[in-house]
Amino acid sequence: MVFGTLLRQKTGIEERDMSELVLDVESLSIKIPVIGGMLHAVDNISLHVERGETLCIVGESGCGKSLTSLAIMDLLPKKAIRTVDKMSLCDVNILNFSEKQMSNVRGNKMGMIFQEPMSSLNPSFTVENQMLETLSRHRNIVGSKAKALVVQMLEKVGIIPAEKRLRQYPHQLSGGLRQRVMIAMTLLCEPELIIADEPTTALDVTIQAQILKLMKDLQNDFNVGLIFITHDLGVVANIADRVAVMYAGQIVEEGSVYDIFDNPSHPYTRGLLSCIPVPGKIKRGEPLGSIPGMVPSLVGNFSGCRFSGRWSDADEKLERADTRLVAVLDEPNTFTVNGSETHRVRFCCQDCLEKSYKFDTRKGNS
């Protein structure tokens, strides 16, 4: 799949060979003016997604996950200030697109699945009305051909009989069915990238498992890039290829799902993983792990350590001699882990680095 001819005609972009990189974002920051000053909600993050890959962005509420997705879709609140060095979709620079150009991209080449489908679907229109409008707006397909495509897509996401569901309104569908409708609408225009913002949080665990399996199967069928935003590490372990861990507006660790779960190298990542009950390791009645302290306020000119007061006693005493860090050029306090270029850990300051790792050069730490 490549950018449509219509979009290229509108933007004057010539046809070119497409790389495997679907999305490439460099140095994204988001500031929001609030009563107490300027909130630095997202601070200089970079991420990329390849075709057919699932990138999970994980972190606690308020760390900047959803704002990052809205910034990519250019749907930030009007008062929010977005700065970014690079934002390309399939080698096409969309950073300076007008609202009309972005309107052609959204829903067409970038689709988004939201957490609560009831607030995303229009309660005043039937499923058929809303899905046909998507095809008419982005692919100029109408009439019986459009309806046939809608029925085919609904059946593909497991909604049977599809003809019956077309005539229903969102409130007549269960939460799982509404989410399936949202997925079908997102896939109608064969997007290059799908952003799913906690799409299973409002569903029970059985339906959640069905939706997760459905999304992975459809991703394989359509070979699209997927950004999956969640705070559920169980979901991450199940579907992720790569993981980006966000804390206080920054990506503090990034790597393959195996890197993150087998060798977590930032104290925040280790803290998150310690909160998961592991069968056979955590006995009934024993307390789960926790991260002490509070997330610092990011309003105003913050200059302290973002992780101050949040180390556990065990973490402060840990030498972690089995981990080898190598500094990344031109990226302060950023390191590759054990020689892997794809596994990176970032510390907010030198104090955070020194407290997280007690270096001993004789043991190979750099």
272-307 in b/e burial notation, b at 16+ Cβ within 10 A?
Answer: bbbeeeeeeeeeeeeeebebeeebbebbeebeebbb
> pLDDT (tens digit, 9 = 90+) per residue, 304-319?
888 888 877 655 545 5
pLDDT tens, 169-187? Answer: 999 998 888 888 988 888 8
Q: Is the pLDDT of residue 331 over 80?
A: yes
72/85 Cα distance (integer angstroms):
13
End-to-end, the C-alpha distance of the chain in Å comes to 43
Predicted local distance difference test score (pLDDT) of residue 315: 58
Sign of CA dihedral 25, 92, 50, 231: positive
Q: Tokens standing for 343?
A: 């596994």
Which residue, chain included where needed, has tokens 């299973």? 200
Pairing of strands 86-89, 334-337: unpaired
Residue 258 pLDDT more than 60?
A: yes
Q: Is 61 helix (H, G, I), strand (E, B) or coil?
A: coil
Amino acid at 173: L
Tens of pLDDT, residue by residue over 200-214, are 877 788 888 888 888
Quick check: 196 and 177 in contact, CB under 8 A?
A: no
Show the tokens assigned to 36. Answer: 């107490």
Q: Residue 13's pLDDT is what?
A: 36
Residue type, 298: L
**Number of residues that make up the chain:** 366
Q: What is the pLDDT of residues 73-92, one digit of tens each?
A: 999 999 999 999 999 999 99
Helix (H, G, I), strand (E, B) or coil at 107: coil
**pLDDT confidence of residue 313:** 62
Model-level pTM? 0.86
| Rounded Cα gap, residues 225 and 18, in angstroms | 14
